[in-house]
Amino acid sequence: MGKGGGKQHTPYEQPDNLKSHQKLSIIDLLSEGPIEGPVNGLQGVLLNDTPVNDSNGKSSVNGLTVQWVAGTQQQCVLEGFEDSASEVPVGVEVKKDAPVTRTITSENIDRLRMTFGVYALEQTNPKKGDRTETSVQFLLQVKRNGAWSTEYNVTLNGKTTSETTKSLVIKNLPPRPFDVRMLRLTDDSTTDTVQNRTFWASYTEIIDSRQRYPNSAVVGMTFDSSQYGSQVPRRNFLIKGRIVQVPSNYDPATRKYDGVWDGTFKPAWTDNPAWVLWDILTHPRYGMGRQLGVDDVDKWMLYAMAQYADSPVADGQGGTEPRMTFNGWLSEQRRVYDVLTDICSTLRCMPVYNGRRMTFVQDRPADKVWTYTNGNVVRPVSGDCFTYTFSPKKSRYNVAQVRFTDPANGWKTSTEYVSDDAAVARDGEVVAKVEAFGCTSRGQARRLGKYILATAQLERQTVAFSVAAEGLRHIPGDIFQIEDNDYAGASVGGRLLQVLPDDKMVVLDRSVELPGGESFLCLTGADGSQVRVSIFSQPQPDRLVLDKRPEGVVEGDIWGLVLPKLAPRLFRCVSIKDKGDGTYDISAVQHVPEKESIVDNGATYAPAPDTRYGGDLPPVEHLVLEAVPDSDAIQVRAHWSVPRVVCGLRFSLKLCRGERVVSNATTEDTAYRFGGLVPGHYTLTVCPVNQAGQRGAPVDTVFSIELPAIPDRVDVTPGNFSVMLHPVSLKVTSLGTQYEFYKGKDEAEATAMTRYLGRATYLNDADCKPDTDYWYAVRTVNVTGKSPPLIVKAHTTLDPNDILDLVGDGIGDLDWVKDLKKQVKNNTAGIVLLNDKAALVVNKDGRISGITVDSSGKKSVVDILADYFCVSDPDTLERRFYYDADRRILVLQGELQLLDGTTISGADDVKNGSGGVFRLQTKDGIFPTDGNAATSLFKSSFGLSPGKDTVFTVYAIDAVGKITHVESRMYDGSDWIVPKLLVDGDIIAMGTIKGDRIVAGAELSAPVIHAGTITSSGNPPAFSLTPDGKLTAKNADISGNINAIGGHFSHVTIDNSCDIQGTLRAEHIVGDIVKAAGGTFPVIRNDYVSGTLTVTINDDQSFDRQIIVPPLVFAAGGDAQNMQVASGQITSPTKGASSFSRCHLRVTHNGQEIYNVTVTGNGVGVFSTVLDMPSGRGDAVLQFTVDSSHSNGYTPFTSISNLIVMAVRKVAAGISIR
């Protein structure tokens, strides 16, 4: 500013006063209706992935109105949405010399909304810099009758620095097609001082109508779009979708089924995939309802699958969840088979046609329905009865990457990684990438991954074979057992030639071989009933004596063997094809019932061998060798492991020295010893071999036995108070090579090797002083001997930054400590000196390195964290007691005195003991004649000195392992003597053994033992027997008879039968009680029967039971005048009636059909059965469904007797069926 005065001005910016506000109204189609509706209100409405309301009810959108309709046929119109609009984007800048024109062709529109605006609107004073408002003018025109007609003359006046839009509606539209355009009147700006660029954003075609959108669930929203930059945000909705048909006895909220289902449905929302599948198959509008009727779909199988899906399983996070749920959104048209397959994948099932209707095969445990052997299938002219194919290695997945919709990830897709680590380590990663359709649970996605891996790893086989019409005993989905003699490598199945029930004997159609252990014979009757009987003996190769009489089987029935080490094989039928010549081709896949526990409960399962051929032999793993001295030779012990057990697996071993074979051996164990080895280079080969002689992959290992060589060098790493020694041998070292370490104050003492430090592969000597020379002798040792020593010198350091020692009154006068104190003053490490002369030292790495407390008479407890801890002599600083954390050893220089006065100063004080028995294999088994030589042999073999009464036995064996010579001596404290009596094993005396004291190391047996009192060890004794016959015992197991004339028993369990000759009195009996249940079938108008009865036997007993259904009689009549129904009995109508009735009875056991028969006029049917119910396998559910019809559509006349079902204890029933 000059001295004559002046004026200054800062630029002024006018506030923005031109803003656009557009109200966005939008309708979204959610789903086919009706639906249950949104979840948690506005928390289930997300705009740009953000919930409108958070969990606390706070809204993130202002002025939002949301309304929805469920999608019924007669639903109301959404209020405020009386028209429908379709917006067409333009997005073009409009300039004065370039108007923008669009042609409208839609016939049904009533109005047109034009949306336009400016990118920015302002002007800048070039001299002062002020930014103020300005204006821009343009026209909206419609071409009418060939000439442009101005509908709006628009002037935007104001200031804005951001994009602003405005909308105007044009009514009274001309006939279609017609043109609309936007024409700018204001000159285009050519400088930066004026910002007034205009643009045409879009136009919207509007139809005036009130839409109800019948059968469509829609949601309408209205809000200010400025909150989203005048853009249309993404909309997502969390809803409970379609209301579908579910069983009338089903509560979707609790997933409970009440009583017996009568086959009718009710509308409800559910995420059970079985009823979603039913909806897709039967709905006439969007499903298969026009092609399939409700009778064409097996609703009863869906009912069983739905119950299986609702069963609770662990969710992997400490809770439970349904086994399977479905939460999917079908947003595009797809092939119906693809949709069915995706939904079925959730249920672990596949759709099949059983000849009458569409049903489903679910991969879950079920009872087998039949057994196929080489004796009841068609044998081709050339080839085997059964043809097997195996899955390729590339499809044996060991890693599954399962993609699912993750609620915890904002309902976006997440990937669950599941792996079989053992299979990955063996075969490398074989990855399956799958989409869990309709899955919103991480636990369910993980179970799907485990299911894929378990199926790929365990169910590798498919089988194909042919049967005649009489052998066709199953439908697709059923499980059957295959006893293939060719595959098993043994006779395991066939037909019965003769049944001798009186002798409990059966004659087979072929010879069989029974291994050791308990074996069973499974017999299959003509009606499919299964009898499993223990085999008592085998008088001839083709004759078996059974443990009990085989009831219900006749000549020609199927038999199968259950052997101890040969597992039966189960398969699930996939398809049945009629060849047209009276035979049928069967295809089936392997079934492992344990897969359910693996997937749902995380169980581990190792498949048992199902063939003696072995097939895929397990590899030899972790082959390890150990060497021990064997007199003047070497003994090597080899041991290994295999990843799984195979029946009859052996191992072939070959040991070579150079090119010469030293030993060949075969063993069933996973360990073997080679003795008498001399120095040399050896190669050991171990190969697995199965019962058929097939050999697996061999495994080789190379080792050497030779005199040890002197170490090539010793790497020395000195510290302040320690020296680390690490010997290095550049040549290949022999088996069991280690190093011995000796220490000396000078080279001569080290060479003399008088101060032994120990034997190891490396050594950390922690008994050192700072700034001191030490000498070490290091030599190589192995089982063949020791090398000459290598002498090395080490000099400890004196590093103040890492000194971890005590600075106190007693040692502060030492010269080197005074020097250390001077250096500590300059130490960069943290040292804290306290007033009471306690010292805490922290080294440069931040670790506490030392601590000391002055003896002030106060008690203190100090915890020390350190690699080394020591107590040193205050005069010499020699360490007397220290702990080495790296080597985990505690060293004491001196004696250890116990509280009772006993002192321990050496290893002999700890290890020696009297009465010990030691054995050693030598070359000749001759005990050394020289006592010192015997003591040296004992010490070198067992690492300790003999104690008084120690027994030392040497023995020799021949090539087959038989002992050829043995000698024993006892140590009396100074020499080895021949004991008066030594029994290393059993002693059998025909006369009398007398002695003041008899000590038995393991067992003392005699027909008669005379003694005053026999008392066991322990305090108090476990048992005692006094001369007056009183026996006291804490626990007695008596396998023979107990005879007593009186007494009292508490908490007695009788494992087997018990005969009571007198009267049994009991307050309460649990067990052999017959339980019965039943009821009467519904009778319609006193004319015909129709309905379902379900009987559930709870698995609430600890013993096996049998379910007995007495005869259930059902009948159908002819004409009404010939039909008499009274007291549940039907009299036969007159023969030759012109019309007749039908009565159909269907029985299922746990969802599996076991009876399905229809009788017609004059017909009578009888159903009766006995079923096994093993304990711990779950509840048993029997369902009886009866229905009636007439040949001419008239009212049928049918009847059925009352239903009775009994459950009895299996042993009490005395039979075993199925």
pLDDT tens track for 729-762:
887 676 678 899 999 999 999 999 999 998 888 8
Confidence check: pLDDT of 1043 > 70: no
| Highest mean pLDDT out of 275-284, 677-686, 794-803, 888-897 | 275-284
Q: What is the CATH number of the domain that holds 547?
A: 2.40.10.170
* Shared-domain flag, residues 733 and 700: no
Instruction: Give the lowest-confidence range in 104-118, 223-237, 367-381, 392-406.
Output: 223-237
Picking from 741, 769, 795, the residue at the C-terminal end of a domain is: 795
Q: Which pLDDT belongs to residue 774?
A: 95
DSSP states along 886-934: TTTEEEESS-EE-TTS-EE-SHHHHH--SS-EEEEE-SS-PPPSSHHHH
Give Cβ neighbours of residue 951 (< 8 Å, ≥ 6 apart).
Answer: 915, 916, 917, 918, 968, 969, 970, 971, 979, 982, 984
Q: Which pLDDT belongs to residue 301?
A: 93
What is the residue-averaged pLDDT of the chain?
81
**Nearest Cα residue to 798 out of 813, 820, 825:** 820
Q: Which pLDDT belongs to residue 1052?
A: 67
Instruction: Give the lowest-confidence range in 639-643, 993-997, 1014-1018.
Output: 993-997
Q: Which pLDDT belongs to residue 804?
A: 43
Distance (Å) of CA 222 to CA 40, 60, 227, 233, 1096: 19, 14, 12, 12, 55
**Report field, pTM of the whole predicted structure over 0.85:** no
Neighbours of 438 (CB within 10 A): 22
Cα–Cα dist 545/523, whole Å: 14
Helix (H) or strand (E) holding 1106: strand 1105-1116
Domain that holds residue 478: 465-584
Q: What is the gyration radius of the CA atoms in the chain, in angstroms?
A: 47
Dihedrals φ, ψ of 995, to 5°?
Answer: 180, 155
Confidence check: pLDDT of 822 > 60: no
Check if the beta carbon of residue 749 is closer than 8 Å to that of residue 827. no
Order of strands, edge to edge, in the sheet holding 265-269? 35-38, 239-247, 265-269
Instruction: Give the lowest-confidence range in 575-589, 829-843, 975-989, 996-1010.
Output: 829-843
Cα–Cα dist 684/639, whole Å: 11
Distance (Å) of CA 641 to CA 694, 697, 698: 19, 14, 13
* Shared-domain flag, residues 1174 and 1110: yes
Q: Which pLDDT belongs to residue 141?
A: 96
Q: What is the pLDDT of residues 592-639, one digit of tens each?
A: 988 888 888 877 766 666 666 655 678 888 888 887 766 556 788 899
* Shared-domain flag, residues 687 and 727: no
* Shared-domain flag, residues 573 and 479: yes
**Nearest Cα residue to 523 out of 565, 555, 491:** 555
Domain presence at residue 192: no
Q: Which pLDDT belongs to residue 1194?
A: 79
**Nearest Cα residue to 647 out of 561, 564, 591:** 564
Neighbours of 234 (CB within 10 A): 11
Q: What is the mean pLDDT of residues 381-401?
A: 88
Q: What is the mean pLDDT of residues 1146-1161?
A: 91
Tokens 């007398």 -> residue: 994
Domain presence at residue 747: yes
Q: What is the pLDDT of residues 461-509, one digit of tens each?
A: 999 999 988 778 888 888 998 888 888 878 888 888 888 877 788 899 8
pLDDT bucket at 1005, cuts 50 / 70 / 90: low
Cα–Cα dist 166/152, whole Å: 12
Instruction: Give the lowest-confidence range in 40-54, 311-325, 897-911, 1004-1018.
Output: 897-911
* Shared-domain flag, residues 573 and 485: yes
What is the maximum span of the chain, computed from C-alpha positions, in angstroms?
148
pLDDT bucket at 274, cuts 50 / 70 / 90: very high
Q: Which pLDDT belongs to residue 1085?
A: 78
Q: Are strands 399-406 and 431-435 parallel, antiparallel or unpaired?
A: parallel
Answer with the residue of higher pLDDT: 24 or 200: 200
Q: Which pLDDT belongs to residue 1044?
A: 64
Domain presence at residue 49: no
Q: Which pLDDT belongs to residue 816?
A: 47
Q: What is the pLDDT of residues 862-874, one digit of tens each?
A: 556 566 667 766 6
Q: Which pLDDT belongs to residue 900?
A: 44
* Shared-domain flag, residues 489 and 546: yes
**Nearest Cα residue to 368 out of 603, 605, 593:** 593
Q: What is the mean pLDDT of residues 51-77?
A: 86
Q: What is the mean pLDDT of residues 10-31?
A: 82
Check if the beta carbon of residue 966 is closer than 8 Å to that of residue 927. no
Q: Which pLDDT belongs to residue 504?
A: 82
Check if the beta carbon of residue 869 is closer than 8 Å to that of residue 849. no
Confidence check: pLDDT of 1063 > 70: no
Check if the beta carbon of residue 466 is closer than 8 Å to that of residue 583. yes
Q: Which pLDDT belongs to residue 992?
A: 56
Q: Which pLDDT belongs to residue 425?
A: 86
Q: What is the mean pLDDT of residues 382-405?
A: 89
Distance (Å) of CA 1030 to CA 253, 614, 1016, 1050, 1166: 66, 58, 14, 19, 65
3-class SS at 572? strand
Q: What is the mean pLDDT of residues 127-150?
A: 92
Picking from 563, 584, 605, the residue at the C-terminal end of a domain is: 584
Cα–Cα dist 434/841, whole Å: 60
Cα–Cα dist 476/359, whole Å: 9
* Shared-domain flag, residues 691 and 719: no
1116 strand-pairing partners: 1163, 1198
Q: What is the CATH number of the domain that holds 735?
A: 2.60.40.10
The token duo for 1178 is 């779950």
Q: Which pLDDT belongs to residue 767?
A: 87
Confidence check: pLDDT of 26 > 70: yes
Q: Which pLDDT belongs to residue 842?
A: 52
Q: Which pLDDT belongs to residue 1053?
A: 66
Confidence check: pLDDT of 511 > 70: yes
The token duo for 847 is 């670790």
Dihedral sign for Cα atoms in the order 1052, 1054, 1058, 1063: positive
Cα–Cα dist 525/495, whole Å: 11
* Shared-domain flag, residues 1172 and 1100: yes
Domain presence at residue 270: yes
Q: What is the mean pLDDT of residues 674-700?
A: 86
Q: What is the mean pLDDT of residues 650-654?
A: 93
Cα–Cα dist 957/966, whole Å: 9
Q: Which pLDDT belongs to residue 959?
A: 72
Cα–Cα dist 899/675, whole Å: 47
3-class SS at 1173? strand
Picking from 705, 737, 755, the residue at the C-terminal end of a domain is: 705
Confidence check: pLDDT of 951 > 70: yes
Domain presence at residue 966: yes
Q: Which pLDDT belongs to residue 1006?
A: 57
Domain presence at residue 261: yes
Q: Which pLDDT belongs to residue 1121?
A: 38
**Nearest Cα residue to 1151 out of 27, 29, 304, 97:** 304
pLDDT bucket at 539, cuts 50 / 70 / 90: confident
| Highest mean pLDDT out of 713-727, 985-999, 1043-1057 | 713-727
The token duo for 1117 is 């009549």
Q: Which pLDDT belongs to residue 1127?
A: 36
Q: Are strands 1152-1159 and 1141-1149 parallel, antiparallel or unpaired?
A: antiparallel
Domain presence at residue 1083: yes
* Shared-domain flag, residues 262 and 307: yes
Cα–Cα dist 248/232, whole Å: 44
DSSP states along 283-352: -TTTSSTTT--GGGB-HHHHHHHHHHHHSEEE-SSSSEEES--------S---HHHHHHHHHHHHTEEEE
Domain presence at residue 190: no
* Shared-domain flag, residues 470 and 566: yes
Distance (Å) of CA 786 to CA 708, 762, 792, 945: 6, 16, 18, 21
Q: What is the pLDDT of residues 1077-1134, one digit of tens each?
A: 888 999 887 788 989 999 999 888 888 888 999 999 999 886 543 443 333 344 444 4
Contacts 24+ apart (CB under 8 A), 486-490: 486/374, 486/384, 486/385, 486/386, 487/386, 487/388, 487/569, 487/610, 487/611, 487/613, 488/566, 488/610, 488/611, 488/612, 489/611, 489/612, 489/613, 489/691, 489/692, 490/561, 490/563, 490/566, 490/612
Structurally, how many domains does the chain consist of? 6
Burial class (CB in 10 A: 0-12, 13-18, 19+), 1046: exposed
* Shared-domain flag, residues 770 and 723: yes
* Shared-domain flag, residues 672 and 769: no
In this structure, the chain runs to a length of: 1218
The token duo for 349 is 């099932």
